[in-house]
Copies of this chain bind each other. A is one copy, B any other.
């Protein structure tokens, strides 16, 4: 089969790879219907040192079950499934608490020890299939692919940001970042009842989609200017909930600057920094900081109905579709911000 590998910054290639095989009785093999490129895939694309052996890529997919291991009970060949971006057994103490990203037996995609390839491929081995995969009920047609695919990562991640921040009816929410996750955070905040949603982003096509998802204000300024603008919009005090969907240090600093005393910053962008502001400017106003890798598996069943009936349109974040062989162009387009989110057709 064809699969995507990265060999260093800027060097993504589609190569022939061994077909995935059942290794554990809890595995399933899924033929990939659609995969996609994630904002977080751009981190190694920016900075991965030369890796001659290559690393597999991709952690978002929808597809059809091709084969199952002897112990798999919840899906069968022919089922249309969504795979979240982390594998989880569904039974450990953390899975039972809806924190599947900390599953005692789980793993993230493309971890070398996991021994599975990435999702940007023609097929994939899914470990812990019973805990990981969610079967989509009914008949799935192509018009539904985009929406369903967001449930593998970005929608659940934006939802996690909003849920962790405790967004509730009437709230004022600021969302930092106009990438796919930021826009999904806007949609989620709206669904959870936020009255005012301030989207911080400067890419007009994206912020326009953000307004469609529910943003009431757009702040294009960054840094001190951006902070001043949000404070001005919020009576001088800041936003009670701040959803940080970028992962770079300036976005975190922005969040600390605009959060209201007693408010919550919820981060879902994987931090590309080790240290950040935790002194008086954070502590003095009783700031809460939360978030982390989203246990999207926990949210799929809850978010699925509105996607299936069209009430929610998260699939609008995909603005380009490519063939698997065009992966290098897909990465380049997202990196150059000429595409918001790229869907991949194997």
Residues of A within 8 A of B (CB): 93-94, 97, 99, 101-102, 164, 237, 252, 261-262, 267, 270-271, 273-280, 283-293, 295
Contact = CB atoms under 8 A, between A and B. Distances in A.
Nearest to A249: B278
Given A94-B261, A102-B286, 15 more contacts: A94-B262, A101-B284, A101-B286, A164-B286, A270-B280, A270-B283, A273-B279, A274-B277, A274-B278, A275-B276, A275-B277, A284-B292, A284-B293, A286-B292, A288-B288
- Oligomeric state, in copies: 2
A257 to B, nearest CB: 15
A102 B285 contact: yes
A285 B286 CA distance: 22
A97 B274 contact: no
A283 B293 contact: yes
A293 B283 CA distance: 7
A263 to B, nearest CB: 10
Contacts of A261: 94, 99, 102
9 contacts: A94-B262, A99-B262, A101-B284, A102-B286, A267-B283, A271-B280, A275-B275, A276-B278, A288-B290
A289 to B, nearest CB: 5
A259 to B, nearest CB: 12
Contacts of A291: 283, 286
Nearest to A273: B279
A97 B262 CA distance: 9
Contacts of A283: 267, 270-271, 291-293
Contacts of A237: 93
Nearest to A160: B286
A85 B295 CA distance: 41
A271 B262 contact: no
Contacts of A94: 261-262
**Which 8 A-B residue pairings sit nearest by Cβ, starting from the closest?**
A286-B292, A102-B261, A274-B279, A276-B278, A288-B290, A275-B275, A289-B289, A99-B262
Nearest to A268: B283
A94 B278 CA distance: 22
Nearest to A278: B276
A101 B267 CA distance: 25
A16 to B, nearest CB: 33
B286 A290 contact: yes
Given A283-B267, A288-B289, A102 B262 contact: yes
A291 B289 CA distance: 10
Contacts of A102: 261-262, 285-286
Given A94-B261, A262-B97, A262-B102, A279 B286 contact: no
